Structure 1
Amino acid sequence: MKITTPTGAAAPAAGSPGAPPSAPVDTPRPRGRGRNVRWTIAGLCFSGLVVNYLDRSALGVALPTMAKDLHISQSTQGLVLSSFFVTYALCQLPSGWLLDKLGVKPVFALGALWWSLATASMALVRGVGSLVTTRLLMGVGEASGYPAPAKAVSRWFPARERTLANSVWDNGSRVGTALALPLITVLVAWLHWRAAFAIIGLAGLVWLAAWLKWYREPEDHPKLTEEERRYIAQGGARLESADGAPAAATSGPAQPADLRWRDLFRYRTVWGMMIGFFCLNYVIYFFITWFPSYLVDERGFDLLQLGFFGTVPGLVAILGSLAGGWSADRLLRRGWSLTKVRKTCLVSGTLGSSVIAFAVIVPTAWGALTLLSVSYATLTFSTASVASLPADVAPTPGHVASLSGIQNFASNVAGVLGPIVTGLLLTASGGSYLVPLVLSGGLSVVGALTYAFVVRRVEPLAPPAATA
């Protein structure tokens, strides 16, 4: 099928390098056993994120016990929690670039090996210094955990299924975080917090073996049928050449493939993606880091209540994420423009999460838990669309992981600042969570305004020559 631009020039076919993700060919969806390999790939990415977030969330659950053993103050706890995000945020940029250059399989595998060994080594820490060091090392390894699945889904899924597929693997973060509460609580109570870190570090190595055995690219997967391959390629997947690299640029005017990595920062859309995800992740990382301490210190939960009721927001957030992915793909199939779909999901979700600010005025613990669950669920309603933005706006398939890394870098600056700011505010206020939660609610509103007005059209970025 030949597609032409508004000027009449031929445009790349869907699925070819540089093809616009918003112009897929309407190919029937393959049905039956053996024709859904792409969803197996999504499941493999999901399980990787489960382990990834289980490892990073474990410290937040074990910290109340560890703090007593290692004599760590509240303000220092904030420093320990945020140290992970320093290297995690900084390594997003090279991680995305490496994924585009070397491919998903080797880079994600190396990251999993690195973070699993760093997690296991936390069983050996003797004080704040060694604890911070292991967290810094873990951040380096886990940096590939977000852009790698985003890159894989952009290549394995047609545009009409991309948002739901992204919500599937992204839910691994919610499942991993939710599992951390009961699992780490049981391990700490039954064995010791040192044993808990050793066990979950081993779990990462088990997943690594599965990844190395089963992940392949669409070009060379032995179980991919020709029917499903056609459905993926003609449906707008961001496929590359057989070696995984973008097609070479032709001579003449600047092509999208000529766009350098640093040139991506010249676009308003990219800055809107960065600011919006910063605000969204500031709130999400409250749930990952300080949420268990909030339930214990502010609402009086004991260890058993924490392990049981503390999982509720994470479980509700899983439903919110799936609803966001399903809704976005449903609206696309009904003919909504990509810009309208993305902005509807992003703005409504981030704005709805601002109810976290009202948790401080609710008198009962269960009322506060309900508001926190709603806040988390509306945030995750947006995250599937956030994860899809890099594939939506990348000028070529060879820029998807780079854009994902840039977006995630900005979001995890919030991971660095959030735990520190919360810890300092708690210390200054004598342990009150009033200001930290109100600040989170305010940033949710800022994020909604950013997605509404800073991000304009959701479409592939034009090369510099076209912009000029």
Structure 2
Amino acid sequence: MEARRSDRLLWVTSLLFVVWLVWVESSFQYFEGSLGSDLRLDSAGVALVAGSFLLPYGLVQVPVGRLIDRGRVELWLLLAALAAAFCSLVFASSNSLQGLLLSRIGTGMACAVAFPASAVLARRSLPADRFALAMGFTDGLLGVGAALAAVVPLLLGRSGWRDLVLFQGLSVALMVALPMLLLGGRRRAPSQLPAAEQDMRVQRWTRAGVNRLIQCCLLYAWGLGFVFGMAQYGLLSSLRGWPNSFMEGLTLIMSIGLVVGMVASGALGGRPQQRGGLLLTGTVITLLSLLLLIKPLLPQGVLILPAFSFGVGIGTSVLAFPISEASAPPGQTAMTVSIVNTSGTVMGGLMTIVSGLILQASPQGDLSLVLLIYGALALFGVAMASWISFSSESAAVGAIPSRPDAVPSIDSAEPGE
């Protein structure tokens, strides 16, 4: 019981790390102008610094997930939080493009630990039927991090970008590194198993499990493709001539809908039998909402409703995590979550580029390319949800533990077992 309680505290602390990483990634847009002018960087240099977080974050997710599955998760979180704090301090004191890039890359790599580690701790410390809710809640924290990025500069007043980044480094040290140091020290040291016994713990993926993982990667790529490519409404706003205030209002409404959709999907998706129906409903809602948002005759005030439902529909994509994890071999939660998360991150970056190309190729008021490309993406989501809904749920029944702590891992073994 003491170990389970400690794991839950560790899980809550890992959620703070997730909020922090979104805050750091999103906050750059609020000070990139002042950073560029202070250091005399051109637009290409500023863009390079902006993109130097997500790329390494996505590239190291899978190997980091594998390491977390094989090691002590609280130790990885502690090291990652300390590295993130150090890189933030380096970024705040940098006066060259090279220093900014190296420290930003280091921050992105350190943050790659947060999401898969939180999944492992959720699986270990919560009942099995709460894992879907935990992942929905974790993904929903993206909205909290984005809100912090907008609010904190207002609270700091006239403080410059260096003060903001220093504050971020201090925050992750106090909110994540210090609790991890205290909580990790309370856990008993894991027993060292013989090498042969450790090798037996590593089980191969079944063919059905691999197919299910591919389905979930494609589904989550669908969701984040919409979130990063279109759901910020910069694309529609530019083509339809919306004022910035209206675009920001729609983005806020969509973000609220996204959080509601993720948390609700996690709460309702605790039973595997319900997940397929939720996915199919969510993808259909996304398709219909997209058509309403593109429809030129609707007044601006009415667009609030499809903006909210658009976010709710996309939020069901979070079910890709519990579906894929249920089909994974025991002890591979972090790597499975990392693979799915990486597919979404890569697709999100790709669709951001696609949206920029659409803006360049489309005259004012012409939404035909938006309908063609994002309409096809919406139909792809419906097809993927149908595929998952009507395929067998027993991809790897033997891999689904009856208790979260039944998942074998090196760091969860207690002495004497």
Structure 1 residues 117 and 307: alpha-carbon distance in aligned structure 2, compared to 1, 3 A threshold: farther
1:309 Cα deviation after fit: 7.3
- Residues 282 and 314, structure 2, Cα contact 8 Å, conserved in 1: yes
Q: 1:210 to 1:250 in 2, by over 3 A?
A: closer
CA distance in 1, matches of 2:242, 2:98: 31
Which of the residues 407, 411, 421 maps onto 2:340? 407
Deviations 1:401-444 (A, max 9, x none): 12112222222211332333333333444788944686345324
Q: 2:210 aligned to 241, 255, 267, which one?
A: 267
Query: How far apart, CA to CA, are the structure 2 residues paired with 1:389 and 1:281?
Result: 17
Of 56, 73, 85 in structure 2, the residue corresponding to residue 104 of structure 1 is 73
The residue correspondences of 1:338-357 to structure 2 (distance < 5 A) are: 338=272, 340-354=273-287, 355-356=289-290
Q: Distance in 1 between matches of 2:337 and 2:362?
A: 37
SS at match of 1:270: helix
Can you list the C-alpha shifts for 1:282-340, whole angstroms capped at 9, x where unaligned? 1223479x5579769953226xx8888754433333222221122123xx3xxxxx2x3
Distance 1:39 1:257, change over 3 A: closer
Distance 1:314 1:386 in 2: 19
Q: Which residue of 2 aligns with 1:379?
A: 314
Structure 2 residue corresponding to 1:453, chosen from 387, 406, 411: 387
CA distance in 2 between counterparts of 1:152 and 1:114 reads: 20
Q: Does the 8 Å contact 1:82/1:420 carry over to 2?
A: no
SS at match of 2:282: helix
Q: How many residues align?
A: 391
Change (3 A) 1:258 1:325: closer
- SS class of match (1:109): helix
1:145 aligns with 2:86: no
Q: Deviations over 1:182-238 (max 9, x none)?
A: 334665x63333433332232222222344145459xx759xxxxxxxxxxxxxxxx
Residue 259 (structure 2) aligns with: 318
- Once the two structures are aligned, what percentage of the paired residues are identical? 20
CA distance change for structure 1 residues 436 and 115 in 2, over 3 Å: closer, same or farther?
farther
Compute the TM-score of the two structures, normalised by the length of structure 2: 0.76
What are structure 1's unaligned runs of at least 5 residues? Answer: 1-29, 223-240, 333-337, 464-468
Q: Deviations over 1:48-72 (max 9, x none)?
A: 2111211111123444666677665
Q: Could you tell me whether the CA contact under 8 Å between 1:358 and 1:371 is conserved in 2? A: yes
Inter-partner Cα distance in structure 1 for 2:340 and 2:135 = 15
Instruction: Tell whether the 8 Å contact from 2:82 to 2:173 is kept in structure 1 after alignment.
Output: yes
* C-alpha distance in structure 2 between counterparts of 1:99 and 1:361, whole Å: 47
Partner residue in 2 for 1:395:
329
CA contact (8 A) 1:116 1:204 kept: yes
Partner of 1:26: none
C-alpha contact (below 8 Å) 1:46/1:168 kept by paired residues: no
Mapping of 1:52-201 within 5 angstroms?
52-63=21-32, 73=43, 81-123=50-92, 132-184=101-153, 187=156, 190-201=158-169
Report the aligned-residue RMSD: 4.2
Inter-CA distance 350–41: structure 2 relative to 1 (3 Å threshold): farther
Q: 2:12 matched to which residue of 1?
A: 43
Q: Is the 8 A contact 1:42 1:168 kept in 2?
A: no
Distance 1:387 1:448 in 2: 18
